[in-house]
């Protein structure tokens, strides 16, 4: 009887959570597709595959996968420069790279990427999304790159006012209504409706307004059948992926998608006390998902923090919540395509403006500066500027290059020894040497292997140096253990790291 009640309990919680995630995912799937310069149904296909397929295979049981704003910019560039037909083969190769990386257990190394680089990259992407989607608010198409979009903004605004009744005015009104409704709802919604997403409210209110006022604005164009949106690459297109330019793009997508997925999975692990992420299994699942997205001619996918956090907050217990959310997307698109065609493009543009701006997290750079000094903040800023001024891959490579500066003082002695000693009543971990991103996979694996239920003492007396990547990982591990009720102490920690590891 108890077992039956427990089973029905998690089924009910996963069912409820799946509906919440579905409501969050629908506008984002279409909006990210629009920001990527492809038809909205491409994003919906990725959401379906990310839910049903990756949900079943995932190594992170509560993470939700689907199209991500973090890859919208690079997809937009592919479509502009290579054409939509090149996207499928690139994703097939990127997915294969992820599967191989998971098989060879490289998942832990993606966690070693500097948080300053990752958040700088996301901030740059967020800014590019904002300036690109700003033009969608006027029922116009974004220009080929971020700087052109930025320079064109004054002309776009001033072009509204020479005469009343400019065709862009209704679209701008709908876009601003979508933004305003989203932000206001998130501030004033009652506790009983906290799981109703602001993005959904913004899109619904903007769509109803455009419908009842019969406004002449551009609307979403989706096919009658989702099957019609599937575009299998030809054999010629698949062979063309081995050109140097497309090979480099595939590796860039695999790298960025994997980094974003595994960092998102680490963030999801901090939100719950359930099963921890198997990073290599998650990497393999994402690879399979991107392979399928490539063969379907859809968007690339990653694990996405917005939908994943909604899943956790809604009370999900198992991976079935993510799977069911994909089923609901499929059912909705199959049964109600006419309803999607009533959504104004400007409404989705407004949602993406909000989403993009939130990626530009000034709070994170303040955190980096306060806890780790000026260098990580400089890395964050340099990555952001280079992503906006050049391209995504160049920005990431510049950030990674700058992050090497942290290990220069210890270049001749980068080794870290991790010695674990267990007693009946406690566990002690001795750290000896330099904790840098080079040794992060080793340190992370050792910490994750520490059994739960025992007090843990981390001896840092012989820890000569800690870079900000390892410091962030250590602080998160301490926080997660303490949140679960464990006693965790740091002995001999010095300087900034002592403050980060101290109990709150």
- 269-295 pLDDT tens trace: 877 777 888 999 999 999 999 999 999
pLDDT at 1 over 60: no
pLDDT at 129 over 50: yes
Tell me, what's the pLDDT at 161? 56
pTM for the full model? 0.85
Phi, psi (degrees; rounded to nearest 5) at 390? -120, -95
Phi, psi (degrees; rounded to nearest 5) at 337? -65, -30
pLDDT at 117 over 50: yes
Instruction: Encode pLDDT of 225-247 as tens digits.
Output: 888 889 999 888 888 888 888 99
Tell me, what's the pLDDT at 113? 86
Rounded to whole angstroms, the Cα distance separating 395 from 415 reads: 29
Among residues 425, 422, 432, 486, which one has the least CA distance to residue 459? 432
Phi, psi (degrees; rounded to nearest 5) at 466? -135, 120
Report the range of poorest mean pLDDT among 37-41, 161-165, 370-374, 400-404: 161-165
pLDDT at 309 over 90: no
Rounded to whole angstroms, the Cα distance separating 26 from 16 reads: 16
Give the confidence band of 165 by pLDDT, cuts at 50, 70, 90: low
Rounded to whole angstroms, the Cα distance separating 435 from 381 reads: 24
Tell me, what's the pLDDT at 401? 93
- The 10 Å Cβ neighbour count of residue 375 is 17
Name, of 366-380, 407-421, 488-502, the range with top average pLDDT.
366-380
pLDDT at 388 over 80: yes
Tell me, what's the pLDDT at 481? 85
Question: Mean pLDDT across the stretch 367-396?
Answer: 90
pLDDT at 500 over 90: no
Name, of 157-171, 335-349, 450-464, the range with top average pLDDT.
335-349
- The residues pairing with 416 across neighbouring beta strands, listed in sequence order, are 433
**Distances in Å between the alpha carbon of 377 and those of 269, 365, 460, 500?**
25, 6, 25, 17
Instruction: Encode pLDDT of 402-418 as tens digits.
Output: 999 988 888 778 899 99
- Number of residues written out for the chain: 504
Tell me, what's the pLDDT at 38? 93
Domains, the chain, ordered by start = 2-347 (no CATH), 360-409 (no CATH), 416-501 (3.30.750.24)
Give the confidence band of 143 by pLDDT, cuts at 50, 70, 90: confident
Report the range of poorest mean pLDDT among 127-136, 377-386, 472-481: 472-481
**Distances in Å between the alpha carbon of 245 and those of 25, 145, 254, 289, 399?**
32, 18, 14, 23, 22
Taking the CA atoms of 115, 120, 125 and 127 in sequence, report the sign of the dihedral they define. Answer: positive
Please, are residues 322 and 58 in contact by the beta-carbon 8 Å criterion? Answer: yes
Taking the CA atoms of 197, 199, 205 and 207 in sequence, report the sign of the dihedral they define. Answer: negative
Those residues whose C-beta lies under 8 Å from the C-beta of residue 385, and which sit 6 or more positions away, are 124, 395
pLDDT at 3 over 60: no
Rounded to whole angstroms, the Cα distance separating 371 from 357 reads: 24
Tell me, what's the pLDDT at 450? 86
Tell me, what's the pLDDT at 162? 47
Mean pLDDT taken over the chain: 89
Greater model confidence, 266 or 302: 302
Report the range of poorest mean pLDDT among 79-88, 265-274, 278-287, 387-396: 265-274
Structure tokens at 302: 């990653």
**Distances in Å between the alpha carbon of 188 and those of 175, 208, 239, 297?**
20, 21, 53, 40
Tell me, what's the pLDDT at 183? 96
Phi, psi (degrees; rounded to nearest 5) at 61? -65, -25
**Distances in Å between the alpha carbon of 208 and those of 37, 153, 172, 199, 343?**
25, 28, 15, 14, 9
Radius of gyration of the chain (CA): 23
Give the confidence band of 166 by pLDDT, cuts at 50, 70, 90: low
Please, are residues 402 and 378 in contact by the beta-carbon 8 Å criterion? Answer: yes
**Distances in Å between the alpha carbon of 353 and those of 66, 210, 262, 455?**
19, 19, 25, 46
Greater model confidence, 286 or 154: 286
Phi, psi (degrees; rounded to nearest 5) at 290? -70, -35
Structure tokens at 15: 């069912």
Those residues whose C-beta lies under 8 Å from the C-beta of residue 216, and which sit 6 or more positions away, are 167, 170
Instruction: Encode pLDDT of 450-495 as tens digits.
Output: 887 789 999 999 999 999 999 998 998 898 888 778 889 998 888 8
pLDDT at 210 over 60: yes
Give the confidence band of 196 by pLDDT, cuts at 50, 70, 90: confident
DSSP assignment string, 167-193: THHHHHHHHHHHHHHHHHHHHH--GGG
What share of the chain has pLDDT > 70, as a percent? 96
Among residues 268, 269, 307, 217, which one has the least CA distance to residue 27? 307
Tell me, what's the pLDDT at 4? 45
């Amino acid at each position: 009887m108890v077992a039956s009640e427990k089973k029905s309990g998690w089924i009910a919680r996963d069912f409820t959570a799946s509906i919440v995630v579905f409501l969050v995912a629908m506008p984002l799937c279409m909006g990210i597709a629009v920001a990527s310069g492809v038809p909205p149904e491409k994003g919906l296909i990725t959401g379906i595959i990310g839910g049903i397929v990756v949900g079943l295979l995932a190594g992170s049981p509560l993470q939700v996968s689907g199209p991500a704003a973090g890859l919208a910019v690079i997809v937009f560039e592919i479509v502009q420069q290579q054409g939509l037909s090149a996207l499928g083969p690139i994703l097939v190769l990127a997915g294969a790279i992820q599967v191989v990386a998971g098989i060879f257990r490289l998942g832990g190394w993606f966690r070693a990427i500097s948080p300053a680089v990752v958040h700088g990259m996301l901030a740059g992407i967020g800014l590019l999304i904002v300036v690109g989607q700003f033009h969608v608010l006027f029922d116009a198409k974004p220009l080929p790159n971020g700087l052109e979009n930025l320079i064109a903004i004054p002309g776009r605004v001033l072009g509204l006012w020479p005469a009343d009744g400019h065709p862009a005015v209704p679209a701008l009104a709908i876009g601003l209504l979508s933004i305003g409704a989203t932000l206001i709802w998130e501030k004033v919604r009652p506790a009983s409706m906290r799981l109703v997403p602001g993005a959904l409210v913004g899109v619904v209110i903007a769509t109803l307004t455009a419908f009842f006022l019969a406004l002449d604005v551009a609307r979403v164009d989706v096919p009658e059948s989702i099957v019609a949106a599937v575009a299998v690459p030809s054999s010629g297109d698949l062979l063309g992926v081995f050109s140097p330019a497309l090979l480099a793009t595939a590796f860039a997508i695999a790298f960025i998608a994997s980094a974003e997925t595994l960092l998102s999975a680490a963030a999801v692990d901090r939100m719950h006390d359930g099963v921890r992420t198997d990073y290599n299994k998650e990497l393999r699942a994402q690879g399979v998902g991107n392979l399928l997205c490539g063969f379907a001619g859809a968007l690339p996918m990653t694990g996405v923090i917005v939908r994943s956090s909604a899943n956790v907050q809604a009370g999900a217990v198992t991976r079935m919540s993510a799977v069911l959310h994909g089923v609901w997307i499929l059912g909705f698109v199959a049964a109600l395509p006419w309803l999607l065609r009533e959504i104004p493009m400007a409404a989705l543009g407004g949602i993406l403006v909000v989403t993009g701006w939130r990626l530009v997290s000034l709070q994170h750079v303040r955190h980096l500066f306060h806890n780790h000094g000026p260098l990580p903040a400089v890395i964050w800023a340099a990555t952001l500027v280079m992503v906006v001024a050049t391209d995504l891959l160049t920005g990431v490579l510049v950030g990674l290059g700058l992050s090497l500066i942290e290990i220069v003082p210890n270049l001749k002695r980068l080794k870290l020894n991790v010695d674990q000693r267990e007693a009946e009543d406690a566990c002690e971990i001795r750290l000896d040497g330099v904790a840098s991103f080079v040794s992060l996979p080793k340190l992370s694996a050792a910490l994750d292997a520490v059994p739960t239920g025992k007090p843990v003492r981390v001896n840092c007396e012989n820890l000569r140096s800690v870079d900000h990547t390892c410091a962030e990982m250590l602080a998160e591990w301490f926080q997660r253990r303490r949140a679960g009720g464990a006693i965790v102490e740091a002995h001999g920690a010095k300087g900034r790291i002592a403050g980060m590891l101290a109990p709150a």
